[in-house]
Amino acid sequence: MKPGVRALGVAESYERDQSVLGGAVVTPSRTVDGFAFETCRVGGLDATDAVIELYSTLDREDVQYLFLAGIAPAWYNILDLRAIHRAVDRPVLSVSFEASPGLEPALRAAFEGSELTRRLDRYRAQPERVAVTVNEQTRYVRSVGLSDAPETVMTAFTPTGGRPEPLRVARLAARGVDRFRREEQRGGTDESGR
């Protein structure tokens, strides 16, 4: 992969009713050169729009891939990968880190009526997960608009371990912003800086 290639990773941190989505622009060589943040509702269906807005805020033509941590951030706020791909015009990879039977049982346990139907419809419309081995660790990837094999892109952006660097950095950034917001809501820090 060319050295100037960049990917935007989007990961979340949440507590209570709002999730912070952190976006980090990262190269395969681990250079970080951009951050953006958005929020979405825990248990809502606005995460797709939040990811699109986060990408738009960055306004980075040099970003060539979009990595998403999972398919259902913020307590089943199901992402529509095809809608994201259409909006950003970049390949989209949704990466999950554990094998699972899928989200349908959990969705049925958490929602009912039209809320369940909307989530099931969106979830079922997403591409199937494929197992990808990176650095001897298995990850599960859904992708839209990808011309390369998922293994090629995952390997390029995962220098060590099994978490792509754009997602690792985005998760750290989201956690930092979330922690800061919670401190601000509690009245800031004390005189010692804590």
Q: What is the mean pLDDT of residues 102-111?
A: 97
Decide if domain 6-191 falls under CATH 3.30.2170.10: yes
By DSSP bridging, strand 130-134 and strand 92-96 are unpaired
Residue 190 has what pLDDT? Answer: 52
- The label of the residue with tokens 């941190």 reads 13
Tokens of 63: 């970003």
By DSSP bridging, strand 137-144 and strand 130-134 are antiparallel
H or E element that contains 138: strand 137-144
Residue 193 has what pLDDT? Answer: 52
Tokens of 58: 């960055």
Distance CA 47, CA 79 (A): 6
Residue 17 has what pLDDT? Answer: 87
Tokens of 17: 């009713």
Q: pLDDT tens-digit profile of 15-32? A: 788 999 999 999 999 999
H or E element that contains 148: none
Q: pLDDT at residue 194 above 70?
A: no
Do residues 145 and 91 touch, judged by C-beta distance below 8 A? yes
Q: pLDDT at residue 189 above 80?
A: no
Q: What is the pTM of this model?
A: 0.93
Do residues 23 and 54 touch, judged by C-beta distance below 8 A? yes
Window from 2-11, 74-83, 106-115, 133-142 with minimum mean pLDDT: 2-11
Q: pLDDT at residue 40 above 60?
A: yes
